[in-house]
Amino acid sequence: MRDKFYNYIKELQDEITFSLEKIDGKAKFREDIWEREEGGGGRTRVIENGNVFEKGGVNISAVHGPLAPAMQKYFKVGDVDFFACGLSLVIHPKNPMVPTVHANWRYFEMYNKEGKIIDQWFGGGQDLTPYYLFVEDAVHFHQVSKQACDAHDPEFYPEYKKKCDEYFWNSHRDEARGIGGLFFDYLKADEQRTIEEWYDFVTEVGNSFLEAYVPIVEKRKNLPHSEENRNWQEVRRGRYVEFNLVHDTGTLFGLKTNGRIESILMSLPPHVQWRYDNHPEPGSEEEKLLNVLKNPRSWV
Domain at 289, CATH number: 3.40.1500.10
152 and 201 Cβ atoms separated by less than 8 Å:
yes
Annotated catalytic residue, options 64, 92, 102, 279: 102
| 26 strand-pairing partners | none
142 is catalytic: no
Q: Is residue 60 part of a domain?
A: yes
Q: What is the pLDDT of residue 25?
A: 97
CA angle 213, 186, 87 (to 5 degrees): 40
What is the domain range of residue 131?
Answer: 2-294
Q: Measure the CA–CA gap between 88 and 124, rounded to whole angstroms.
A: 9
Q: What is the pLDDT of residue 222?
A: 97
Give the contacts of 135 (CB within 8 A, at least 6 positions apart): 299
Give the contacts of 83 (CB within 8 A, at least 6 positions apart): 2, 40, 62, 63, 64, 108, 109, 111
**Low-confidence stretches of the chain (pLDDT beneath 50):** none
Q: What is the pLDDT of residue 76?
A: 87
Q: Is residue 80 part of a domain?
A: yes
135 and 290 Cβ atoms separated by less than 8 Å:
no
Q: Is residue 133 part of a domain?
A: yes
Q: What is the pLDDT of residue 267?
A: 85
Q: Is residue 300 part of a domain?
A: no
The number of folded domains in the chain is: 1
Q: What is the pLDDT of residue 224?
A: 98
Q: Measure the CA–CA gap between 185 and 13, rounded to whole angstroms.
A: 21
Q: Measure the CA–CA gap between 45 and 201, rounded to whole angstroms.
A: 25
Q: Is residue 284 part of a domain?
A: yes
- For 2-35, write each residue's pLDDT tens digit: 999 999 999 999 999 999 999 999 999 999 999 9
26 and 50 Cβ atoms separated by less than 8 Å:
yes
Q: Measure the CA–CA gap between 205 and 153, rounded to whole angstroms.
A: 13
Q: Is residue 299 part of a domain?
A: no
135: number of Cβ within 10 Å? 12
Q: Is residue 186 part of a domain?
A: yes
Helix/strand/coil for 25:
coil
Q: What is the pLDDT of residue 264?
A: 84
106: number of Cβ within 10 Å? 21
Q: Measure the CA–CA gap between 158 and 265, rounded to whole angstroms.
A: 30
